[in-house]
Amino acid sequence: MLTRDHVSFDLENGEGILTARLSGEIDHHTARIFREEIDRALLRETPRALTLDFSGVGFMDSSGIGLIVGRLEMAREIGATLTLSGLSQRLCRLLELSGVDRLCGIVISKSTEREDLFHETEIRT
């Protein structure tokens, strides 16, 4: 687990799936940290799929939208898919308002664990 500048995240690669568990707030400063570490791992591991887990994220501004779109482009470049998981209703609404859900073809299925989290959001590449 990496902890820097009031954010932390864990990168795990198993069975060709790279999972980035993000936590804290995603703003212009922290998005850069996440982006650099995730991109480095994508290039090093070249997984078939990337999952961004937002269950630990309490706040995200438009920089988070850029983080998602940029990782989608990066995943496409290496032939990987992108899945978003652990999105709160607030984050899902932000994706809808920004149009990212239409841009990326997000599919949402509701969680049975917590009412405020969607279980998984898949971005079809």
pLDDT band at 8 (very low <50, low <70, confident <90, very high): confident
Query: Is pTM beyond 0.85 here?
Result: no
pLDDT of residue 3: 62
pLDDT at 53 over 60: yes
pLDDT band at 56 (very low <50, low <70, confident <90, very high): very high
Q: What is the mean pLDDT of residues 86-93?
A: 88
Largest CA distance in the chain: 36
Secondary structure element (H or E) that encloses residue 103, with its range: helix 100-104
To the nearest 10 degrees (0 to 180), the angle between helices 62-77 and 89-98 is 80
Look up the CATH number of domain 2-123. Answer: 3.30.750.24
Q: How far apart are CA 117 and CA 119, in angstroms?
A: 6
Pairing type for strands 2-4 and 7-14 reads antiparallel
pLDDT of residue 86: 87
* Average per-residue pLDDT for the chain: 82
Q: How far apart are CA 17 and CA 15, in angstroms?
A: 6
pLDDT at 111 over 50: no
pLDDT at 82 over 60: yes
pLDDT of residue 108: 47
